[in-house]
Amino acid sequence: MYWRYLTRAARRCSVHTTSSRTVGWWDHVAPAAKDPINGVTEAFLADPSPFKINLGVGAYRDDKGRPVVLQCVREAEAKIAGSEFLTKMVEESVKLVYGKDSDVVKEGRSAGVQALSGTGACRLFAEFQRRFHPESHIYFPDPTWSNHHNIWRDAQIPERTYHYYDPDSKSLDFAALMDDIKNAPDSSFFLFHPSAHNPTGVDPTEEQWREISYQFKVKGHFPFFDMAYQGFASGDLDKDAQAIRIFLEDEHLIGCAQSYAKSMGLYGHRVGCLSILCVDSKQAAAIRSQIQQIARAMYGSPPVHGILLVETILSDPNLKSLWIDEVKIMADRIQRKRTTLRQNLEKLGSSLNWEHITNQLGMFCFSGLTPYQVDRLAKEFHIYMTQDGRISMAGVTTGNVNYLANAIHEVTRSEQETAKILCSISV
């Protein structure tokens, strides 16, 4: 294929003078499509309006819309000044997600490695999956975090989807989900969000998780969990890991990506963990060595600062306790904002059903707004969110919630009119 470039290069050579300048090697490189999430932030930053709101990227903010550095993190920063690099972060992470008293932890049956936050952990797993199950696919919930598609595609694993979100009820389409699990070929790889599903905020109930786990045993499927919001969904770290604990009870040997971006506010430090559960510690050592080899070829070794912070916080009882409190405060605040937004919309007399705002969990609300409505919000009201109508509740403050509610009410007027007409017809 490069002969084509060479011919083109040769032609262009003739245009140049005797100067030794070379021809355009990169002419055939087309601009990449804008990332659907980062693109929103870029548009927001470019907007000069004083009223603008960023409801795009999921990064926590205080009530003045400012980024937050947790107190436990500040204290950890002071502690780690000049520290040697420790290796306890993986140990602590695994206890956090599986439970410190779980068998897998006690028996050393997890192959855990530090990863570049959730993205990095997913990518390591995808590469590992390709290496050892090259013919496999990955099943994603529909919808899922947009970058999941990129990650598994770049790891050359083809994707399939399973039913998840029901746009009519704005909740889980459980029957269709179970059908898809049963109809998938045996031993398929599935990705789950254990809590605070991104982008919908819709999670299975405990009972539903048990059914899913059971069906997985029947089909011999492999469950991979992307745990990006532990603690952030309900405010309770153990409760948010419940789905994983259920699978552990049923003795599945799962894979799990963890991220500290949201729960510890360490977004820019890129710190997370990938773990894969094994039959024994010997297998865990083998799998760990393979994942480390994949990581080495990608980036050598992980950035140390974030790892030190996580280690320090998780292994110091006082800091850990402070962290748990701070996570609960963040989760509660998000919950209150959900309530306020819904109440405001109802007070404005919106005839649409906004229950889903408070039913959904975690940082995101799948508003049900159409791409057209999302565009109007950006153009007319300087409110930015992803095209699928996902609102990052972290961007909502007491200062802007009225403005937001009014704007949503405005752009959904025609939908409300339609709803009223349909109601009057059916009566």
C-alpha distances (whole Å) from 163 to each of 133, 171, 323, 386 are 24, 11, 35, 21
- Contact flag: residue 69 with another protein (CB under 8 A): yes
Q: How many whole angstroms separate alpha carbon 130 and alpha carbon 144?
A: 20
Contacts to another protein from residues 231-260, by CB under 8 A:
250-251, 253
C-alpha distances (whole Å) from 85 to each of 118, 273, 296 are 21, 16, 18
Q: How far is the CB of 235 from another protein (least distance, A)?
A: 21
Question: What backbone phi and psi angles, to 5 degrees, belong to 172?
Answer: -75, 135
- Contact flag: residue 280 with another protein (CB under 8 A): yes
Q: Residues 203-222: x/- map of binding to another protein (CB under 8 A)?
A: -------xx--x--xx-x-x
Name the residue nearer to another protein (CB basis): 291 or 345: 291
- Contact flag: residue 278 with another protein (CB under 8 A): yes
- Contact flag: residue 265 with another protein (CB under 8 A): yes
Closest of 423, 290, 316, 390 to residue 72, by C-alpha: 316
Query: Which range binds another protein by CB under 8 A, 240-248, 265-273, 317-325, 411-419?
Result: 265-273
The catalytically annotated residue of 170, 180, 262, 323 is 262
Among 51, 71, 154, 238, binds another protein (CB under 8 A): 154
The catalytically annotated residue of 173, 203, 226, 240 is 226
Q: Residues 283-302: x/- map of binding to another protein (CB under 8 A)?
A: x-xxx-xx-xx--xxxxx--
Q: How many whole angstroms separate alpha carbon 392 and alpha carbon 167?
A: 18
Work out the number of other CB atoms within 10 angstroms of the CB of residue 347.
11
Name the residue nearer to another protein (CB basis): 215 or 416: 215
Q: Residues 347-376: x/- map of binding to another protein (CB under 8 A)?
A: ------------------------------
- Contact flag: residue 57 with another protein (CB under 8 A): yes
Query: Which range binds another protein by CB under 8 A, 87-95, 151-159, 195-203, 416-424?
Result: 151-159
- Bond from prior residue into 134 cis (ω within 30 degrees of 0): no
Q: How many whole angstroms separate alpha carbon 420 and alpha carbon 418?
A: 5
Q: How many whole angstroms separate alpha carbon 233 and alpha carbon 248?
A: 20
Among 93, 102, 117, 312, binds another protein (CB under 8 A): 117
Q: How many whole angstroms separate alpha carbon 320 and alpha carbon 82?
A: 21
Name the residue nearer to another protein (CB basis): 69 or 423: 69
Among 14, 18, 20, 426, binds another protein (CB under 8 A): 20
The DSSP call for residue 23 is P
Name the residue nearer to another protein (CB basis): 141 or 223: 223
Q: How many whole angstroms separate alpha carbon 405 and alpha carbon 424?
A: 26
Among 14, 18, 26, 46, binds another protein (CB under 8 A): 26
| Dihedral sign for Cα atoms in the order 26, 28, 33, 39 | positive
Query: Is residue 244 a contact partner of residue 251, using CB atoms and an 8 Å limit?
Result: no
- Contact flag: residue 279 with another protein (CB under 8 A): yes
Contacts to another protein from residues 31-50, by CB under 8 A:
31-33, 35, 38
Name the residue nearer to another protein (CB basis): 205 or 289: 289
Query: Which range binds another protein by CB under 8 A, 271-279, 314-322, 346-354, 362-370?
Result: 271-279
- Contact flag: residue 153 with another protein (CB under 8 A): yes
Q: How many whole angstroms separate alpha carbon 244 and alpha carbon 192?
A: 10
Work out the number of other CB atoms within 10 angstroms of the CB of residue 143.
19
- Contact flag: residue 53 with another protein (CB under 8 A): no
Q: How many whole angstroms separate alpha carbon 137 and alpha carbon 374?
A: 33
Q: How far is the CB of 100 from another protein (least distance, A)?
A: 19
H or E element, residue 186:
none
Q: 262 catalytic, yes or no?
A: yes
Q: How many whole angstroms separate alpha carbon 276 and alpha carbon 110?
A: 6
Closest of 64, 50, 144 to residue 394, by C-alpha: 64
What length is written for the chain? 427
Name the residue nearer to another protein (CB basis): 30 or 46: 30
Q: How far is the CB of 64 from another protein (least distance, A)?
A: 13
Catalytic residue positions, numbered: 145, 226, 262
